[in-house]
Structure 1
Amino acid sequence: MALDTTIIGTTFPGTELTLDAGRLRFFAKAIGETNPIFTDPEAARAAGHRDIPAPPTFFFSIELENPNPFGWAADLKIDLRYVLHGEQRFVYHSTAYPGDTLTATSTISDIYSKKGGALDFIVKDTAVTRADGSAVADLTTIIVVRNPAGANK
């Protein structure tokens, strides 16, 4: 079943998160980040930061704070058993620190198929901003949905 392209342009309600130093350190360790600026406030200050900065790729996790982070996929009748992570891109505008309140707002920017409909691709763009509206990062996520009923299985 091909995905409904009429949802292109749909923007979802934002997810808000206030950054916590413990959570940032935990994330840095989970991704194998060894640079001490991401876990040690003294090392971060010595490097010119006011505190430990949010580690690379952390902003992807903000939307997971939603009570139902994949509800949008369920609304599209996507069976999560067939979902693959296709691609992730980040454009950073400013550094985020503990105490910053961030909002991640996502929009479906494209849907397309390949392999004769066997694979559907959903492009989701997410803007991460501070409470004052200033840009922190822009994320692009490409989600691949295998379609067992598609051509060229």
Structure 2
Amino acid sequence: MTIPSSAVGTGLPPVRMDVERGRLRFFAQAIGENDPVYTDVGAARAQGHRDLPVPPTFLFAIELEQRDPFGYLTDLGVDLRRVLHGEQSFTYHTLGYAGDTLVARSTISDTYQKKGGALEFIVKDTAVTRGDGERIADLRSVLVVQNPEVRR
């Protein structure tokens, strides 16, 4: 299996997420975030926020909102049993808040190989905006796919 170079530039369907306070609180608890600004509206407002802010790395979850978040990989012929999460980065432009509707628009921006093709990489860039179009963040994820057809 070789990931086709024609995949570069492929845009994925946009994904919408309504950001809810309960979900932000749960996420903050799950990652061990103890700062009350992420769980208590009064504490958030006392710090100058209009509502609970979206915690760091929460935006990764937006693309998991769709019915088949990894469907684009199976469309490329990727065996999901051979996928590793290689890298994730976030560039923030402003904060998202409870009550926002966020939209994620992703594009496959690169594919490449290492180790003579034994490892293939898929780079996906995602722009996250508020429903009104204001930029919230840019995300980049790199997936590593083991190619069983290449013997090392």
TM > 0.5 fold call: yes
* Residue identity matched to 1:40: D
Paired residue total: 152
* Residue identity matched to 2:44: A
Structure 1 length-normalised TM:
0.96
Please tell me whether residue 3 in structure 1 is matched to residue 13 in structure 2: no
Structure 2 length-normalised TM:
0.97
Report the Cα offset of residue 151 of structure 1.
Answer: 3.8
> Partner residue of 2:133?
133
What is the CA–CA distance in structure 2 between the aligned matches of 1:120 and 1:146, rounded to whole Å? 6
> Partner residue of 2:53?
53
What is the CA–CA distance in structure 2 between the aligned matches of 1:151 and 1:140, rounded to whole Å? 29
Which digits, 9 at most, give the CA deviation of each residue in 1:24-78, with x for residues without a partner? 1111111111211111111111111111100101111011010111110110111
Report the Cα offset of residue 20 of structure 1.
Answer: 0.3
5+ residue gaps, structure 1? none
- 8 Å Cα contact 1:108/1:124 also seen in 2: yes
> Partner residue of 1:120?
120
Q: How does 1:46-85 map to 2 (within 5 A)?
A: 46-85=46-85
What is the CA–CA distance in structure 1 between the aligned matches of 2:150 and 2:57, rounded to whole Å? 33
What is the CA–CA distance in structure 1 between the aligned matches of 2:139 and 2:133, rounded to whole Å? 16
Which digits, 9 at most, give the CA deviation of each residue in 1:87-124, with x for residues without a partner? 00000011111111110010000000001111000000
Percent same amino acid at aligned positions? 59
Q: Secondary structure at the residue paired with 1:25?
A: helix
Q: Secondary structure at the residue paired with 2:10?
A: coil
What is the CA–CA distance in structure 2 between the aligned matches of 1:17 and 1:83, rounded to whole Å? 25
- 8 Å Cα contact 1:117/1:151 also seen in 2: no
Report the Cα offset of residue 143 of structure 1.
Answer: 0.4
> Partner residue of 2:35?
35
Q: Secondary structure at the residue paired with 1:74?
A: helix
Report the Cα offset of residue 148 of structure 1.
Answer: 1.7
